[in-house]
Structures are given as C-alpha cells and as structure tokens.
Amino acid sequence: MPRETTVQKTARTREIIAGLRRAYPDAHCELNYTNPLELLIATVLSAQCTDKQVNIVTENLFKKYKSAQDFATAPFAELEQDVKRIGLFRAKAKNIQAACRVLVDKYKGEVPQTMDELTALAGVGRKTANVVLGNAFNINVGVVVDTHVDRLSHRLKLTTKSTPEKIETDLQQIVPKDEWCLFSHLLIWHGRRRCFARTPDCPNCEIKQLCPIGQKVLSLPPEKSLALRKQI
C-alpha cells in the first residue's frame, strides 16, 4: 500500500472530523465546570482518573470553594479530605493549593490565558493548559493528547510518534487550527463510545471506511475479524 502523503492525510483527517461531528454533534468536555477556575481544578484532579469520578467529587468541592482565595487559604488537611476519593489526592491537593496561591498573588485570583503562564502553575502541564485554554477561553493553542487521543491517533494512522508532545505536533499539522479543541473532544467521545481500548467496535464504527485498521477488519471473516480486534 503506497505511503500516504501529508496532503492525503490532511484530507482524510478532515473527513474523519466530518464523520465524527455527524456521530457526536454534542461532543464537549465532560468535566463539569462553570468557570475557568473550576475547569482548571477539575482538570488537575482528572489526571489518571475518570471524568465521572472527578465530577462526583467536584459537585461538593465547588460548592465549598468558590474562589482561588478559598483554595489558597483552606487548611491543607481539610482540602486533602475533600478530594480524598481521587487518585493521587495528596499530590493533587498540594498542587491545587500552590497553584491557587499564585493565582491570588499574581493574577488577582483569575486564571491566566497563555500557555506559559498556565504551565508555570503547580500541577499544570501542557495537556491541562490546552484543556483550559480551549474550553474556558476558546483559545486553540494546541491539541489535548490524552489516552484516548493517543490511542485513536495511532489506530487511524495519523501519527507514529510515541510521546504526547510529538503526537500533538503531528496532529497540529493535519487538523485545522480552529478545530484543535473540538478534534480532541471528538476522538475522546469516539474512544469512550466506540473505539474502546479493548476490542473496539469496528463493525459499527461511524468512520471505519477512513480507518486503515477498520478497513482491514472489514475485509476478514467474522471470526478472524474478532481475533484481530482483540489484538489491537
């Protein structure tokens, strides 16, 4: 099979986006938040944790702590207890409090709107910053690369890179900039609902004709198709 050119891959990516938009017209960030600070806190908490679990914790957390000042001045032991249901809660509580102290001291309690300022905060990496910028401020600086985006980008043959930073760079070259944030949501929704980590539902996939693995699965008898999907 001839190697796909960048132009061809870009065109296929646009078709993938169109197909996923039809499949998931309401795709959005599934963390619950009402303002940039809440999204920042929720995203920090979401590392190695499901959005569902984070939303359970933040339902009460955001009622109790309504500002960066509240997080910054809370007794640390109390803040720890308030996020205890989250994995790595001690480190996350520490980072949240440290970040909020900087927000209070340097930004009057507001969340900054640049990549450099956000990633300078405790517990905030590029992925978290991209989530906040894209969803809270509608600023497309990069592409969020979480486990779903990583997995689907490889299955769709959009990248061969192994690190989030390099995967993001590849995706930025083939996804329209104004759709960087949406593209992540589309892949995440598809990864949670169809393209599972184990035994993806290729036969019912909405973009199977645009997926090299999907096309291979479709070309096999049912028993061999299932065996391949279990190996993916």
Contacts of 161 (CB under 8 A, 6+ apart): 167, 169, 170
User: Which among 9, 127, 150, 208 is annotated as catalytic?
Assistant: 127
In 50-67, which positions are buried (b, 16+ CB within 10 angstroms) versus exposed (e)? Answer: ebeebbebbeebbeebee
Q: Cα–Cα–Cα angle for 209, 210, 211, nearest 5°?
A: 95
- Start-end of H helices in 140-179: 147-155, 164-174
CB 44 within 8 A of CB 123: yes
User: Which among 94, 146, 157, 161 is annotated as catalytic?
Assistant: 146
Residues in the chain, total? 232
Rounded Cα distance between 102 and 109, Å, is 8
Q: CA dihedral in degrees (95, 134, 9, 204; nearest 10)? A: 90
Burial of residue 10 (number of CB atoms within 10 Å: 0-12, 13-18, 19+):
middle
Catalytic (active site) residue 127: yes
Catalytic (active site) residue 216: no
Rounded Cα distance between 196 and 139, Å, is 29
Dihedral of CA 206/48/232/11: which sign? positive
Query: Tokens 């992925």 correspond to what residue?
Result: 127
Q: Which residues are catalytic?
A: 127, 146
